[in-house]
Amino acid sequence: MALPAIAAEILWKLNILFPGGGDMAEQISLRWMHIVFGTMWIGFIYFLNLVMTPTLNKLDGQTRGKIYPLMVSKLTPWLAISAGLTWLAGFRYFMILAKTDATNIGDSSLLWKWLGTWLALWLVTAALLLVSLRMFNNGWVLALVATILVSAIGWLVLGFLSNPGTSNRTLCIGVGGGIGTVLFVFSIVLSRSLKKIAGWMTIAEGGAPMHPDAPKLIRRMFLMGRLGMWLSFPMLFFMGASNHYPFLSGR
């Protein structure tokens, strides 16, 4: 009985008080979901680049053909699910912040203008990068194209969202969440393509020749995974800076 009494006394002295109101509960729930599923999502991307791909490259073809489909069957559903839940929670949280800023500015119609233009710009960015992945087989060329494109779109987004009443959180998430949108699109394409490659490998294990498009698709998915990993670095910086480093706005 002494231990529960001690625990109760500690909790009493901590003076725990949960904020009231549904808005606060929604925001902390969204942030919690975003962090949990985001950790899973980015963790899968790092695992794919830093562990899975280098390890498979060291195996002989027969062993790789057996292990790859098994790993992909476990990886791809969780990659797609965690990416989707992370993006949905983040987008809803971004909506709340943008609505608050639009209300403070005195023009509530700005919310949908901001969100519509923001989403369109980053989806176009994702589409252009997917086209670039088909055009360029050199990782350095692709990195240069991605750097120029993401920097340009990020600058456009900041210019569009900038207003004396716009908070640092909205501006940072405008860029970080935008890059996250690109990675979300990448993750869906990557999941589908990895399953396709795994299917081809399974068929080849039965004695059939490997699909003629397999080498090109494998190379493209390698470049997409590597590009996604590098893009996660500025994404995570802007997401962290939204609350902890107000360099875009003092608010």
pLDDT given for residue 13 in this prediction: 72
Question: C-alpha 134: how far from its chain's center?
Answer: 21
- pLDDT of the chain along its 251 residues, tens only? 577 878 777 767 777 776 766 788 899 999 999 999 999 999 999 999 999 999 988 988 788 888 988 999 999 999 999 999 999 999 999 999 999 999 989 988 899 999 999 999 999 999 999 999 999 999 999 999 999 999 999 999 999 999 888 999 999 999 999 999 999 999 999 999 999 999 988 888 777 888 889 889 999 999 999 999 999 999 999 999 998 899 887 56
Query: Are 41 and 79 spatial neighbours (Cβ–Cβ below 8 Å)?
Result: yes
Residues 125, 39: Cα–Cα separation, whole Å: 24
Distance, in Å, from the CA atom of 28 to the CA atom of 97, rounded to the nearest integer, reads 13
Handedness of CA 210, 213, 219, 223 (dihedral sign): negative
CA pair distance 156, 147, nearest whole angstrom: 14
For 195, the token pair is 């399953």
Q: Is 19 within the bounds of a domain?
A: no
A 10 A CB-CB count for 127 gives: 12
Under the phi-then-psi rule, with left for phi > 0, alpha for psi from -120 to 50, and beta for the rest, what region is 4? alpha
Decide: 76 and 191 in contact? Cβ < 8 Å: yes
Number of domains in the chain: 1
Helix ranges (H only) for the chain are: 2-14, 22-47, 53-57, 61-105, 110-135, 139-161, 168-205, 214-244
Listed residue (89, 73, 114, 72) closest to 184, CA to CA: 89
* pLDDT given for residue 209 in this prediction: 83
Contact assessment for residue 121 and residue 155, using Cβ atoms and an 8 Å cutoff: no
Residue 119 confidence (pLDDT): 96
Residue-number span of the structural domain to which 229 is assigned: 25-244
Of 99, 93, 80, nearest to 176 (Cα)?
A: 93
Classify residue 236: in a domain, yes or no: yes
